[in-house]
Chains A and B, each alone.
Chain A
């Protein structure tokens, strides 16, 4: 068996960083990254980007050395992706924040509202209901992160956690402030409006969860395979007939429900910003599906049936 030699150069400076000899032909990029870490321990595998061309795309961890267009002496270029943090850590942190923060406002912890309101309770039913819904939503997200989602990437850049937490925690505080305010005004159409909104919210939460389960079942544990998602026996998944990312569709729906329930402008703004971001993600995902699968169902739109 002929062994390969692998030299790793810095993509920017072309400096020779590492030379590996006697590399097995069927070694994967993941294994090469591990070897590289031995000589440069500060660059753990998650922060390495190895590519064939200094300006090219990153090679995947599963790629096999002998299948790459290289000679028996392979030259790989290295780029430092910066400090990395695991997706699970980021999700748990960004979701635990809103759960906790909202409750601070709900219980009217001192120094938020005037002293005479400390630890008082709202007299509006909808405020209690909103707290239950908001808390449920984030508990659901935390549980899904721990037990449902199967992530294709292990890590993301460290700076993302600051950006993401600012967004989630900031908006949670802003919404919670008004909903739990002593001067909160309940919805104009009263109990009818709240009931309708609650129905929308519950349906969309169930829908969102159903999609997460369906997506999880598409991919075996520990694998990174990608398949076209299809509707299952669960009626909530039938939205797959019309959109590529029904999880986002249901998520937007949940927040619209919450906005109607609380009749609170900051909630509507949060829904709008979230919708904008999810639309960008949905369009990207839709494009990837189209590129990867020739037989992708043509009726599907990224996030809103027939429209967007």
Chain B
């Protein structure tokens, strides 16, 4: 869902580089983009993020070639993964100050779910770091983010190659389910260790009359994928139809 969510509100946005625009990439809607300073900053931000995820991609390939197997590749890209995924928190700020025309709530939800998986599951439960499911969502995220950030970069510069737009609105068909599977399997793998260690849990009695069972919480999170993932997925499919067919029509009339 973190995978799905991040590209979910991917309504093509010509000038703003935002997550949720009007879904109209050919710019027939009047839109007041960010000012020149904000645009310059956003271009730099998106270029840096594209580069960061490319570093992760290259790191994965190199580690695979060096080790000769695809197991336990997480350790080779752990630091850049944490750095660049956590850095995406800035995107919440971008929405809050208005330089990106997306909903703060939606963006927060998307970024926080990614950050949750990285820190509160994978980092916190060391035993799952060697699971193959981790590789599954890392690959899905990596490809998705490289495309997404380059999409924003090109959009801000008003030179969006059709290939990038196509990739953003097509590859999700495979990458979403792949990412979601990786995430769910990883959380599932973490469960016994969380229960055993009583991780992040507090029980009664205590001074503040409060209790929290992280194990139960993780199960609730997994259950929440059931209503949320299909909605995000079909939203993207709907967006795809709107945006890719629209561009096709424009091409026809040229």
Question: Which residue numbers of A lie inside 8 Å of B, CB to CB?
Answer: 178-179, 181, 183-185, 188, 262-266
Contact = CB atoms under 8 A, between A and B. Distances in A.
A184 B209 contact: yes
Given A185-B209, A264-B209, A266-B210, 17 more contacts: A178-B204, A178-B209, A178-B211, A179-B209, A183-B205, A184-B204, A184-B209, A185-B206, A262-B209, A263-B207, A263-B208, A263-B209, A264-B208, A264-B210, A265-B208, A265-B209, A265-B210
B191 to A, nearest CB: 24
A260 to B, nearest CB: 12
Contacts of B207: 185, 188, 263
Contacts of A188: 207
Question: Which 3 pairs between the two chains have the least Cβ-Cβ distance?
Answer: A265-B210, A183-B205, A183-B204
Interface in B199-219: 204-211
A58 to B, nearest CB: 24
Nearest to B206: A185
B231 to A, nearest CB: 17
Nearest to B207: A185
A179 B204 CA distance: 11
Most A C-beta atoms less than 10 A away, residue of B205, B206, B210: B210
A7 to B, nearest CB: 30
Contacts of A265: 208-210
14 contacts: A178-B211, A184-B204, A184-B205, A185-B205, A185-B206, A185-B209, A188-B207, A263-B207, A264-B209, A264-B210, A265-B208, A265-B209, A265-B210, A266-B210
B25 to A, nearest CB: 24
A265 B209 CA distance: 6
A188 B204 CA distance: 16
A178 B208 CA distance: 9
A178 B205 contact: no
Nearest to A185: B205
Contacts of A185: 205-207, 209
Contacts of B204: 178, 181, 183-184
Contacts of A179: 209
Contacts of B206: 185
A188 B206 CA distance: 11
Interface in B176-218: 204-211
A178 B206 CA distance: 11
A183 B205 CA distance: 5
Contacts of A184: 204-205, 209
A266 B206 CA distance: 13
B5 to A, nearest CB: 22
A178 B204 CA distance: 9
A178 B211 CA distance: 8
A158 B204 CA distance: 39
Nearest to A266: B210
A183 B203 CA distance: 10
Nearest to A186: B209
A57 to B, nearest CB: 22
A181 B205 CA distance: 9
Contacts of A266: 209-210
Most B C-beta atoms less than 10 A away, residue of A178, A181, A265: A265
A251 to B, nearest CB: 22
A1 to B, nearest CB: 45
A183 B211 CA distance: 11
A185 to B, nearest CB: 5
A185 B210 CA distance: 10
A178 B205 CA distance: 10
A112 to B, nearest CB: 14
A264 B204 CA distance: 12
A264 B207 CA distance: 8
A264 B210 CA distance: 7
A265 B211 CA distance: 9
A294 to B, nearest CB: 31
Most A C-beta atoms less than 10 A away, residue of B204, B205, B209: B209
Contacts of B208: 263-265
Contacts of B211: 178
A178 B210 CA distance: 7
B60 to A, nearest CB: 41
A217 to B, nearest CB: 39
Nearest to A264: B209
A183 B208 CA distance: 11
Contacts of B209: 178-179, 181, 184-185, 262-266
Nearest to A174: B210
Contacts of A263: 207-209
Contacts of A178: 204, 209-211
Nearest to B211: A178
A229 to B, nearest CB: 33
Contacts of A183: 204-205
Nearest to A178: B209
Interface in B105-148: none
